[in-house]
Structure 1
Amino acid sequence: MKKIVYGLFFGDSITYGEYDGVFGGWVDILKRYALQRFHEGNGDELILFNLGIGGETTEGLLKRMPVELNARNSADGNLVFISYGANDLAIKEGVQVVNPEQFKDNIIKAVQNAKEFSNDIYLVSILPIAQNIDGVVVGSGKLRSNEEVIAYNEILKSIAADYSLGYIDFHSALVDDKEVLLSADGVHPNEKGYGMMAEIAIPIIEKYL
């Protein structure tokens, strides 16, 4: 009897796939890959849900997460991916949207929510930002820095270690070539960047196919 496993991807616009008019972002590439594998008759069915919302922080995540998890709960098991930080760490009008202590608290609460539904939880690193917007207030009024990106990624890594979670390190994979892998806004990946992210994540979902 084949199993039907659900994969839930919580995140912001980078999870949603913004700025990728070709492939729809890394999660949508994974969705198509899992569907293709199923139609080839290989293994279990893995149904992936892209639950990314543009501009969302961990504060928004905590409000909707229990409802989303209850609505998409497979009897055969669930995978949960938590991909936040790019909006939390931003500074707007001199104030950090979600400070590091609160970010850590929120991620831990999200992990505890996820643990009620899944033993397979992955934290996803925050991506580097382009040099030309590092420490610069952009049109949206937000300021981001690579220094903060590194600090918030350290929080994610430490939580992953403490709670025995998976950690997907997109940051290390993209940082050296970020200027060619990010879109014009310097925050979101372009098609190449999203493609690289999907390549890194495919071996993870392979384990459940």
Structure 2
Amino acid sequence: MRYGLFFGDSITYGEYDGVFGGWVDILKRYALQQFHEGKNELILFNLGIGGETTDGLIKRIPHELNARNAADGNIVFIAYGANDLAAKEGEKLVNPERFKSNILTAVQHAKQFSRDIYLVSILPFSSKLDGVVSVTGKMRVSGDVVVYNQILKDIVIENSLTYIDFYAAFLHDKEILLSEDGVHPNEKGYGMMAEIAIPIIEKYL
């Protein structure tokens, strides 16, 4: 038996998807179905917390990993950045340097429990939000998504990890894959994320 641990924010949690519950929940159901059909058991944990940044991640990841440690090993997914890069009153919640440091800290914790670590790209957001202060008081700029994703890509290369590029998959059709708030995917978007991720978890079934 293996565990798959998905760390992230509200996009990992599956917010705004009242149909499927988000991409991780789709994967959970898929893995369970495959187990019932005779495949290896892979139990997936959705550890997404709405609004969380990497500052929150590094506080809880050691405890979460300790609490869920499968005999046959863990697979760790780390999906952050959409909140980190948001600016409030002119200041980013987590600047690029601290974002890099936090992700590296999380990766070092994960390496104690897993050899299979995936960093997940930040999604593009709707053009109508670019540089606009939202009702929550946060402002996001499209160029920052590219900068923060590049940080993730560099960490992946330097640490021999794997990068899941949802950003590229969404970019062309983002306006039809995102929900009304322009940040979270809609059912179609979450479904596409799950389709991209299924071949990854297939390797462990």
User: Does 1:37 pair with 2:13?
Assistant: no
Q: CA RMSD in A?
A: 0.4
User: Does 1:95 pair with 2:91?
Assistant: yes
Summarize deviations over 1:90-112 as a string: whole Å, max 9, x none.
00011110000000000000000
Secondary structure at 1:196 match in 2: helix
User: Does 1:15 pair with 2:12?
Assistant: yes
Q: What is the correspondence of 1:95-134 to structure 2 with a 5 Å cutoff?
A: 95-134=91-130
Question: 1:171 & 1:45 partners in 2: Cα distance?
Answer: 30
User: Which ranges of structure 1 fall in alignment gaps of 5 or more residues?
Assistant: none
Q: Which amino acid aligns with 1:185?
A: D
User: Does 1:60 pair with 2:56?
Assistant: yes
Q: Which amino acid aligns with 2:51?
A: G
Report the count of equivalent residues: 205
Q: How far does residue 145 in structure 1 lie from its aligned partner after superposition?
A: 1.3
Summarize deviations over 1:149-188 as a string: whole Å, max 9, x none.
0100000000000000010000000000000000000000
Secondary structure at 1:137 match in 2: coil
Summarize deviations over 1:11-41 as a string: whole Å, max 9, x none.
0000000000000000000000000000011
Residue matched to 1:188? 184
User: Does 1:50 pair with 2:36?
Assistant: no
Summarize deviations over 1:103-142 as a string: whole Å, max 9, x none.
0000000000000000000000000000100110000000
Q: Which amino acid aligns with 2:198?
A: I
User: Does 1:74 pair with 2:74?
Assistant: no
TM-score by length of 1: 0.98
Question: 1:108 & 1:65 partners in 2: Cα distance?
Answer: 12
Question: 2:78 & 2:119 partners in 1: Cα distance?
Answer: 5
Q: Which amino acid aligns with 2:69?
A: N
> Identity over the aligned pairs, expressed in percent?
75
Secondary structure at 1:64 match in 2: helix
Secondary structure at 2:12 match in 1: helix
Summarize deviations over 1:23-76 as a string: whole Å, max 9, x none.
00000000000000000112x100000000000000000000000000000111
Secondary structure at 1:6 match in 2: strand
Question: 1:149 & 1:186 partners in 2: Cα distance?
Answer: 14
- Structure 1 segments, 4+ long, off by >2 Å, are none
Q: How far does residue 146 in structure 1 lie from its aligned partner after superposition?
A: 1.1
Secondary structure at 1:29 match in 2: helix
Q: Which amino acid aligns with 1:171?
A: Y
User: Does 1:172 pair with 2:176?
Assistant: no
Residue matched to 1:159? 155
Question: 1:207 & 1:146 partners in 2: Cα distance?
Answer: 33
